[in-house]
Amino acid sequence: MSKSNATEDDTLTYWLTTDLFSINRPTEWHLALFKDDPADDASGTEVSTGDDTAYVRQIISFSPVVSGVTSNSADISFPVVVLASASYSISHFAIYDAATAGNMLYYGSFGVTKTVIGGEVFSFTTGGIVISED
């Protein structure tokens, strides 16, 4: 699991400076799907409505942190895939602080690349998205 540059900056600011007021803690988190590696600078390619007309980031909530690890505390399901054109592939996910735009906080790989076809539903069971600190 990797942190975005924004999360790394906020972590250092929080723990090592007195400038606590510049950090805006999210009140809601969103799971995004990526066609490639988002990278620390959030430069990857998120799935869009140009790929899947039904795509929207999904709200994700987390269980309490234990030994530097947390995971999603409820099942997550994306809408049924409605292809806008040809099939596409996903390989990564990211956690954002907003439903659109916003700041990428954490990201990771699924470990495999999945070719997406129309009519599929992407879902993750409770505990399926794991976030850890190195």
pLDDT of residue 20: 67
| pLDDT value, residue 110 | 95
What pLDDT score was predicted for residue 78?
96
pLDDT at residue number 8: 87
Q: Residue 71's CB: how many other CB atoms inside 10 A?
A: 18
The partner residues of 2 in beta bridges, in order of sequence, read 107
Residues of the chain with pLDDT under 50: none
Give the pLDDT score at 81. 94
Q: Where are the alpha helices (DSSP H) in the chain?
A: 5-16
Give the whole-angstrom CA distance, residue 83 versus residue 106: 27
Q: Where are the domains of the chain?
A: 2-15+27-126
Q: Tell me, what's the pLDDT at 14?
A: 81
Give me the count of residues in the chain. 134
Burial class (CB in 10 A: 0-12, 13-18, 19+), 29: buried
